[in-house]
Structures are given as structure tokens and as C-alpha cells.
Chains A and B, each alone.
Chain A
Amino acid sequence: MLASFNWIKDFVDFKADAPELVRRLAMAGLESEILSQPGKGIDDHVVTAQILKIDKHPNADRLSLCEVQFNDEVSPVVCGANNMKAGDKVVLARPGAKLPGGLVIKVSKIRKVESQGMLCSESELGLADTSEGILILPPETPLGLPLTQALDLGDTILEIEVTPNRGDCLSIQGLSREVAANFHLPFKSNETPTFHEATGKSQVEVNVRSQERCGRYACRVLSGIKVGPSPQHVVRRLESCGIRAINNIVDATNYIMLETGQPLHAFDLKEIRRGQINIRTAESGEKMKTLDGIDRELNCEDLVIADGERILALAGVMGGEDSGVSEATTEILLESAWFQAGSVRKTARRLGLQTESSYRFERGVDPSGCVAAINRLTEVILEVAGGKVLGSTIDHYPDPVRPIEVTLRPSRIQRILGIALEAPEIMTPLQALGISGEAGKGGDYHFQIPTYRSDLNREIDLIEEVARLYGYDRIPATYPSIHLSELLQAKGNSFDQLDHIRTLLTGWGFHEVLHYSFTSHELLKKFSQEFSEEQSLLNPISEDQSVMRPALFPQMVQTLQSNVFKGNKDLRFFELRPVYRFDREGDGKRPFQESWHLCLGMSGARRSPHFLEKESATALKEFKGLTLLDLKGYLEALFHRCLPGIKIAEGPLNLPYFHPNRQMSLTLQTPGTQGETVAGGFMGRLHPAVLAEMDVPVPILIGEIYLDLFLTEWKNSIQFEEISPFPTIWRDINLIVDEKTPSGEVLRVIRAQGGLWLRRAELFDLYRGKPLEAGKKALTYRLEYGAKDRTLTDEEVNGSREKLLEQLKHTLGATLR
């Protein structure tokens, strides 16, 4: 809320300046900052004055020449505005004045006519961001006063962040009470009002139909009032606290609300039909027009103030347009009531209508304060608008709220805060906040909680209050001791594994990226992602962020695209995040599955070449042209590093957004089973048509890996194999096979049939073209033979190789080249 520094000073006579007050409030739990200092920079040469006469400027059509008086002298002033007339009270910046914007006023000649000063607008005075014409002051303004004095300027406006539990601080009085306690100063409450209370029949009959939701309803009629503008200092204070001035009656209700925290309302009495005020729930579909001019349809949950015929106001939220105070109003009904927080909140939320009133009711208004507030309001209105009280005041309060008592055990303070406090350290600050207490038998304290502190109703609430007032900074920091037996350090949690994957990937040049967990339906459709409608958000901020993603790669493609557009080259990205699936088959309790995926995205060169490599054309060629095999290589290495011993197999895939011949699935053998497999992920190169559509001129490679197995089987199967001291023997085999025979299949046969001594086999060369016949390819494999207990002879190795060649010929039709 916005609060005036000077206004708080009306209630507490403290000496601190605004920055010090901000600091003190912060340490008391009220965060604030200095929002503005209206009038700052206006010096005493800026005074109130009156225009006696206005003539046209002899040499300029748009300018006027005014005769202005602020003391005995009359000064000529040239002015460019046209919103003033003779007799208006205005603001004159005399020669020598300096304005907040830095402008220094001098006697000057404007188009050959002397001007002894300037008539100021609100924006020139720094009182408003924009303004039209010069500032016209109320007619009763005395002449010749420094403006800061006349308008009660020189205030500081604080923006205070009041936490939801401290409804009592949503008023100047409430804040002042905190400030007083903080500075150890007395809090000056308002004096008892002195107006004449009337007797006789009340002008209205009040029926509260929902006692629970309207615990108190006080109202009073004033007659003979004159609606008009409020005094300037009231307007200033309201506006600097963010409330627009309307007229003296509405302004008074707002002013007293800011002062006391009690929302107040004034009805035009003649609009109240049949003399009835009924506090009831609306009927479903019932309509009303609120003060802001909007027609609202209500339902049977909304609490309203109605007369005998229609709805006058939304209880605690906003008044109605019809029953509001207008220029013609002479008799008013003032309302000061207590409405239940939840009731007000429901209506305000449903209608999207948060008002100063609803904000306060939601955070708790003190029901005990209703009458004091209406009395203060009455006093102020009688002062600014005249009139008198008509008929006796109604105060419907059948079940008054009583202060509750809370017991506080000193042992508990020590248990929670870790310090032992003496009685005065506990009692004195609480008493300063109006919380009185006494020590009972057994050393416990019993405190009476005033009704304005509805946030204090448990022992722990009082402990916090004690700590807050004692000062958190005075509670010494201590270091807890842990018994080793309690240490629950989760060794090797999945975060270690995720970090290990990060280490590997960054070592291979991949940068980690991070996308929102929600994306657009459109993007997921573009990449044929299936998902349940249950994964959509009910209230997304935009379509772009409307569905919980079932896969990572669509956004990865977008990120690669946007980086390409920004001119970033040679991209390698990875993302390591959960994806979301709605699963109806679940146990019913949590239908959503969240599982970790890894997505890799690559584009551009395999590696940007070093200048040394540019010297040799062949070396450069080697580093160009990223292929799917690059991505496959990284993924294979990742599996090999993290899940050693688990076999991976690639399988065919037919996804429309990938290049038809550059995509594959990965399947993992489930550990501990007989050949059962589980999906491990997939990869591919984006289809040229998809790239063209996205306007991306470079190939994009995408892989997405399911990490479930990574997290459960992490390096579970590492078994050391002894290193043989005997040398191994290398043999190449150069095979010719059908183009259709996958090289992986050849390798599988080699590994299966290579014999006991085959230690390693890898593809060494792939050749197509002459002298091979069409439809054939040559594959060279390099084989390593060795035994654990001796050096093999050439005959043994050759024999083994011959056997293998025979098998290859038999199973795959492979011939030796």
C-alpha cells in the first residue's frame, strides 16, 4: 500500500527521516521503498497568487498577459495557457525561483513584453507526470503563501509491501502503531469525535440475512450536506496514496479508510427504496451496475447490500452506480461493516474486481473498529460538507468478537528460537503493540490478543512476534550437530548421473540449453507428437506455452533455427529435462508421468577447423559435413560410458519429419532378462522439406534418448577384465557383400563367429565403385586376436580367420575381395 510519511507522523512523533524509517520497517517485516517526494525541489519563491486581470498579449495571439497579485504588489506575467480566468487562484513562480525540473525563473521579455515570473502547471511543479493548463487552486486559498505550505507538500510517499497476514497494517493507524512500537514512542490515537449524536427513529431498517458473512453492520444518516470538492490537502493526500479525489463525501470515506483501515461507503439516502437495507446473497442471475459503470451478473454466492427492491452494492467490494453520491445528494447513509474475508474474496476473484475495500476485507478488518471509524467519518463529513446526524445510529453486532487469550511458554521460545528471554524482553515490546499479558503460575505467560491482530492466535504466532520485536539480528547464529547415524546423504542420487552426462556432453562440445516445459499444440503437431488433451493448460499465458511437452526435440529444432537466424554457427546443443505424459492406466492417484529425456541437436560443421588444417585440403574435408553417424557416435559413446554391458541395437524408423533414409531407433537390452528389450530413443536428420519450410539452409540432426534405464542401471555392470601380457595379432578381412547387407549385420556375424581368440573387430573401410559390380560394396574389417595364456601362432590365427570367412560366405554370401 501507499502511505504518506507525514500522515504517519500525525500519529507518532518520531525524528527519523524517510530512509531510516524504510530501514526500520524492513527489520520489522514491512518491506518498503520511497516512491515519490511530491513538492521536492519546489522552493519558497513559488507562491500562491491571484489573477486580477487577463489581457491578450499585444504581440502574440496564443499568449495572454496577466496581472497577478500575491502580496501588495501586482506583477505582469505572460502565460501560454488558456484554462484560467480573472479571479482564479494560481501558482506563481517568482523571479529567482527554481523549479523541480531545474528551470530558474528570471524577469524576462517575451515578445517585447516584460514577464515577472511564471504561472505553473502541475507537471512543471513535479506534482504530476502530465497536466493540461496551469494549476488552478481552490478559491479559499490564502495569497502569498509558499506553495509547499499551502498544499501541505514536502511529504514522502512510501510503497509498503504488507504481507497477507498483516491486514492490520493496511492503514495509517496500523502502520503508526508498528512505527511507535519500533521507536519506543507513544501512539497518538484520534481524539473522541465531538459531533452531536441524534436520537429518534432510524431512517432505515437493517436486516442481516447472513450473519456469518456479515458480522457487523453499522450505519448512520446525515442530512443537509453539501456535496462539493474536498479541501486541497485532502485531495493531495488521497492522490499521493493512489486514490482519485471525487467529491468531499466519497473522499472522506476513502480518507478515513486509509486512516483506520475500515472500508466505508456512502449511499444516497433517497435512492434507498422502502427504507430497507438488506444484507443478503444475490439471486442467481440477478444484475447490478457497479460504480465503475459495468453491468454485473451475480450468483447466489455473492453477498450484496440491497434495499427493498434492488441491489445497492456488492458487500465489501464496490458500491452501485445508482445509489452513489452525486452533486445533487443532500442526505446520505454511511456504512461501516465487517464482511467475512472468504466471502469478499470469492466475489472479488470471480468478478476480477479487486478494490481498496475488498483488498482490506480479504486480509482481515477489525470488527471492533466499525463504530470508531463511522464516528470519525461523520466528524469529517460534518466539517467539510456541513449537515447533521439524522435519526439514531444503527449498530447491528449481535455476536461481538472478544479478544482471545494465548498462552506462551518460555521453554517453547527457547526451543524454537534457541535463546532464553527474560520477562521484560517478552512483555514490553508486545505491550507496545497493544498486546497485554501477565505471567501465570508455572511461569507461562497469558496474552490478550487485540481484535485487530487476527493473525495472532497460536503460541507459535506469538513466538514469531517476540522474535520479530526482539530483532532477528540479535538471535545468535548457531551450528546444528548431526549424529553420523542420522546422516541421510543419498549417495549416488540421480543428480550425480545427470551431472556426469553433462560432463561428457560438454567435453564433446555440446552446450546445455533450457526450454520451457510447455510448448504449443502447433509445434507438437508439426512433429507428429501425440499427447493427451489432459496435458494442456487450463489457463496458459499464450498458445506458445499451452501444453506440457511429451518430447524435448521440437523446441530443440526451434532453438537451432533461431540460432542459425542469429548467425551462430556450428551448433551442438543438449537438453536434459523431464517430459510429461498423461497416463490413464496409472494407479489413479497420479495420472501424470514425468520421465527424464536427453535431447541432442547438431547443425553446421563437425568442428570448426583450426587454421593449420586449412593448409591441407584433405584434412579440411575430413572435418566438414556433419552426418547422422556423428550423432550416432556420440550417443553410442554415451551409452557405452554410462551403461557398459548393455547392448544397443539400431532399428528402422519411419518418421515423416526426418530424412527418409537418415533415421533410426535405438533399442536397449533390458539387464537381467533373456533378451527383452526396451526403447532407448531415436535419432534422425531433419527432412529437407521441413528444413526448407523453416528456412534453415544447413542440415539439422536430432536425437532423443529416454533416460529411465540410465538412472536405474547406472554403471551397474562394470566388470574388470584382466589385461593379457601376451601380444595380440592383427588381421584384416576385405569382404564384398550386397549393398543391402547392413555392415552392422556383418559385424554381428564376425563377433558371433570369430572364435574364442577374437578380441576386437571394427570396420576399417567402406568402398563402392569400380572394379566392384553395381549393387555390391566392399567392407574391410580389422580383427584383433589374442589369448590370455600364451602368444598365438600365425597358423592358429589364420585357421580361425579361415573359419570365419567360411561362415561369412555361408550366412551373408560375403566373398573375399
Chain B
Amino acid sequence: MKEDLLKSLKSLTDDLDGSVQKVQTEAGLSELKATYLGKKGRLTEVLKGLGKLSSEDRPAVGAKANEIKNIIEGRLRSALESLQRQSIAKELAQDTFDISLPGRTEVVGNVHPISQIFAEARHIFEGLGFATCSGPEIEDDYHNFEALNIPADHPARDLQDTFYLKDGRWLLRTHTSTVQIHIMENQGAPVRMIAPGAVYRCDSDVTHTPMFHQIEGLWVDDRTTFGDLKGVLTLFIQQMFGDGTKVRFRPSFFPFTEPSAELDMSCHICAWKNPSCPVCKGTGWLEILGCGMVDPAVFQCVGYDPEKITGFAFGMGLERMAMIKFGINDLRLFFENDLRFLQQF
């Protein structure tokens, strides 16, 4: 009796192996599972004979039946997995995808190139220990001219044709140097600041717009020299335009600095190789900023003692830097706000 049961159990797995191989669908496997393990399945059928066994035989046969059940389940599961793998493989084999189709994204806008140049310059200068400040654009004559050592009727005023407001007393600042005065009027040395902003000159043609942007810089304490000016501004230019950029300092004149200098940087377009380079006109140099040691007359105006305090100041045009950096050839584009321009930055 016991032997018969064990034989029947064993034949279950033998039969299953034959059936599983013939089944090709998941439904067929479910059917097969019902046939073997269902309530009225073959395993149940075999186990009906269990009650007729002696109590000492029953545990061994029961254990065997459980083992057979696990085997059947395992075989059916692996058959199912194998079928699923086949069907995925079949599906994938039919799928195609064109990886060159355009990606889908949100539209992203751009920061104006002038703001970008300023942000970049600001990060460099702040890293060097400068604080960023601002001052008013509508100014009085004192802050724009007199305190900067540009007295009335001085020919230096010709360089900066000034817009005046209706009553003639107020003007639009012609340079950001005004901020130097505001800051030094309000605090003692040391002062290390940059000040960006719009400036205005009564001039409008291909190379001039009546409004443009500058960054002013001021570095004042009890020990700064012209050598420091050269060091700091060279660092700035090389961080802004690349390590390999060469600079030269050339004597110049600004009423509020002495000694005064123009800083030229090497032309990155031609690198001295094109005598008819349209950017540098073949000189290999691009004028990039004006600078100098703060004139003692300016220190006197703000109540600093020029015997004790020295420092340098500089000013640069953001449009000019953007034109050099991005290769923009027309100043007026900055203010025309054509989407086709703005999208490029």
C-alpha cells in the first residue's frame, strides 16, 4: 500500500516533465497547475489514499507528498519564467527606437550677456576680497565731477558729454566712479569694493550708445601700491579671459587717478598673427579698462589723509568685455532685445 502511493507520487513528477515541455502558453501552464495541484488535481487524488495507511507509514508518505508538491511548483514556476523571458525577448526584438529624435524638455531662458559678464566679474572680485556696492544713477555735479577732481570748465569734461535733468542741477552719472565718493564719504579705510551699473553719455552712433554699463573698483588702505594694482588687475583679466591672456599697462590720464593707466589685453582673436585683424586692428592689443592710483585730491575731498592712505581705482565697460568675450560686433544689439540675439547666451 505504502509502496503504491510512493510510486504514484513519483509518477506525478515523471508525467509533469513530459507535459511541461508541450505547453507553450501561460494559460496552458495554469491548466497544468490545476491538473496536478488543484483541488481535484492528481496530487489530491493520490493523497486520498493516505487515510488508508497505517499511522507509522503516514508521516513518511506525507513528507514525500510535500516534497513532490514543491518540485511540481518549482518546475511550473521556472517554466513560467522561461515563457515570460521568451515573450519579453520577442517583444524587445520587435521594438525600435530612434535615438536621434529630439529630446523633450522645458524651455529655458537666458540671462542677458551684460548680466552674465557682471556676475562673472563679481564672483572673481568677491573672491579677491572686494565687496559689491551700488550708488545712485541720478547724481549731482559734486559726486560726478568735482569730488573726482574734475572742476567746472576742465577740458576733461569734454570726454564725457553729460545728460542733465530738467532743472539743470541733477545729471545722469557719466561713470560709476561716483560710487567711490559715496562709499568713502560713509566709511573710513580700508575700502575694497566694486560697483556695477548703468552710466550715461550724450553720444549715440555705431560705437556709442547713450546708456552703457561699467564696473568701478576701489582698493584703498594704508599700504597699497601701483605694483598691487598691476597684480590684482592682471589676476582679474586672466581669470576672466583665460590664464594665457597677456596684459600691458600703458600711461594714460584720468583726473581722479595718478599715476593713471590703460590696461590692454592680448587679442584672443588673432594673437598677434593677423596684421589686418578687425578686432585689434592688427596691434594685437585690446583696450579693456582704465585704472590708476587714487589721486590725493580725491582723498582730500572725502576726508582721507593722502599721506597715510593709498589705493587704486579702476573702471571697465561691461559691453566692451561682453563684445570681446562673445565676439559680438555691434554694440547696439545689447539693447535691441531681439530673441534671436538673447537666445545665444
Contacts and interface: CB of A to CB of B under 8 A. Distances in A.
Interface of A: 26-29, 31, 33, 163-166, 341-342, 345-346, 362-363, 415-419, 458, 460-461, 463-464, 467-468, 472-473, 475-480, 482, 486-490, 493-495, 499, 502, 505-518, 533-541, 545, 548, 559, 562-563, 566, 568, 570-574, 576-578, 580, 590-592, 594, 607-608, 610-612
Contacts of A570: 107
A499 to B, nearest CB: 6
Interface in B186-224: 190-193, 196, 198, 200, 202, 204, 209-211, 219, 221, 223-224
B167 A563 contact: no
Contact of B225 (A26, A417, A489, A517): A417
Interface stretch (B58-66, B79-87, B110-118): B110-118
Given A415-B225, A458-B296, A480-B224, A505 B109 contact: yes
B253 A478 contact: no
Interface stretch (B13-21, B32-40, B70-78, B157-165): B157-165
Interface string B307-320: 00010000000000
Nearest to B261: A472
B138 A346 contact: no
B334 interface: yes
A472 B251 contact: yes
B129 interface: yes
Interface string B255-292: 00011111000000000000000000100000000000
Given A514-B114, A537-B172, 18 more contacts: A31-B250, A31-B252, A164-B154, A341-B155, A417-B227, A468-B251, A480-B231, A489-B131, A507-B106, A511-B110, A511-B339, A511-B343, A513-B342, A518-B210, A536-B166, A538-B164, A566-B338, A572-B109
A489 B227 contact: no
Given A473-B248, A511-B339, A479 B228 contact: yes
B319 to A, nearest CB: 10
B337 A509 contact: no
Contacts of A566: 338-340
B46 to A, nearest CB: 48
A331 B119 CA distance: 69
Contacts of A416: 225-226, 259, 293, 310
B281 A487 contact: no
A577 B112 CA distance: 12
A487 B231 contact: no
A594 B138 contact: yes
B111 A506 contact: yes
A580 B137 CA distance: 9
Contact of B223 (A163, A480, A487, A580): A480
Contacts of A572: 107, 109
A341 B190 CA distance: 38
A578 B110 CA distance: 20
Contacts of B168: 538
Contacts of B101: 611
A506 B253 contact: no
Contact of B155 (A164, A464, A541): A164
A562 to B, nearest CB: 8
A238 B342 CA distance: 49
B252 A163 contact: yes
A418 B225 contact: yes
Contact of B204 (A463, A487, A495, A541): A541
B184 to A, nearest CB: 13
B90 interface: no
B250 A568 contact: no
A488 B163 contact: no
Interface string B140-170: 0000000000000111101100011111101
A418 B227 contact: yes
A502 B335 contact: no
Given A477-B234, A499-B119, A516-B210, A573 B154 contact: no
A414 B166 CA distance: 48
B226 A488 contact: no
A512 B112 contact: yes
10 closest A-B pairs by beta carbon, nearest first, are: A418-B225, A29-B251, A418-B227, A163-B253, A509-B107, A464-B259, A478-B227, A477-B230, A512-B112, A568-B339
B156 A607 contact: no
A609 to B, nearest CB: 10
Nearest to A473: B248
User: Which of B104, B122, B252: most chain A Cβ within 10 A?
Assistant: B252
Nearest to A417: B226
B126 interface: yes
A495 B253 contact: no
Interface string B234-253: 11000000000000111111
Contact of B227 (A461, A476, A494, A495): A476
Nearest to A542: B204
A537 B165 contact: yes
B133 interface: yes
Nearest to A571: B339
A415 B310 contact: yes
Nearest to B306: A460
A509 B108 contact: yes
A475 B129 CA distance: 23
Given A415-B225, A464-B258, A506-B110, A489 B190 contact: no
Contact of A488 (B154, B159, B190, B261): B190
Nearest to A486: B190
A538 B166 contact: yes
A26 B219 CA distance: 26
Given A346-B153, A490-B133, A537 B166 contact: yes
Contacts of B112: 511-514
Contacts of B153: 341-342, 345-346
B231 A472 contact: no
Contacts of B126: 489
A559 B224 CA distance: 47
A533 B166 contact: yes
A218 B198 CA distance: 49
13 contacts: A163-B252, A164-B159, A416-B225, A416-B226, A417-B225, A464-B251, A488-B192, A489-B126, A512-B112, A535-B166, A537-B166, A538-B168, A563-B338
A607 B212 CA distance: 33
A739 to B, nearest CB: 34
B327 interface: no
A502 B111 contact: yes
Contacts of B138: 548, 580, 590, 592, 594
B94 to A, nearest CB: 20
A467 B259 contact: yes
Contacts of A502: 111, 115
Contact of B337 (A362, A480, A573): A573
Contacts of A515: 335, 337
Contacts of A535: 165-166
Contacts of A26: 250
B44 interface: no
A686 B136 CA distance: 32
Contacts of B343: 511
A478 B228 contact: yes
Contact of A511 (B109, B225, B250): B109
A419 B296 contact: no
B337 A559 contact: yes
B30 to A, nearest CB: 36
Contacts of A514: 112, 114, 334-335, 337
B132 interface: yes
Contacts of B107: 509, 570, 572, 607-608
B227 A460 contact: no
B232 interface: yes
Contact of A480 (B232, B293, B296): B232
B102 interface: yes
Contacts of B129: 482, 487, 489
A482 B158 contact: no
Contacts of B115: 499, 502, 512, 576
